[in-house]
Amino acid sequence: MEVEPCPVCELEAMATDLLFDVLIRRLEDPAEREWFGQLFGLCYPHYRALLTRELPSSLRDALVQSQSAQARLLQEHLKGFIDKDTVDLKYTRTHEESRSSKHALLKTAGNENV
């Protein structure tokens, strides 16, 4: 007996493929590629999925470089939260600071709503 796939999952997969195609076309333009490099990048599940596609080497290099730059930026931003994790500063964190580093990591990992 064959099980019918979920129609929402099918639509989501089709939309993802379509959006990847649009992103790839846009990133072929150097100005768009520069603009994309200034953004936060993709969540890791979408980044890995995009890298499984056939991409020109220049585009693949730009994606890897952009994602690496954003990972370094995230690391720098999270450093302040990690520094406050020491015993001396632990109780100086606000409620938002206690949640922010975890939220940023989950958003980057593609699990922001978990």
CB 67 within 8 A of CB 76: no
Instruction: Please give the torsion angle defined by the CA atoms of residues 70, 75, 77 and 80, in that order, rounded to the nearest 10 degrees.
Output: 180
The pLDDT-based confidence of 103 (bands split at 50, 70, 90) is low
For the entire predicted model, the pTM comes to 0.62
pLDDT by residue (tens digit) across 8-24?
A: 989 999 999 999 999 99
pLDDT at 5: 84
Calculate mean pLDDT across residues 100-111.
62
Residue type (1 letter), 7: P
- How much of the chain exceeds pLDDT 90, in percent? 21
**Nearest CA to 82 among 96, 93, 72?**
93
Q: What is the secondary structure of 64-83 as a DSSP string? A: HHHHHHHHHHHHHHHHHHHH
Name the phi and psi angles at 3, rounded to 5.
-95, 130
Position with higher pLDDT, 16 vs 96: 16
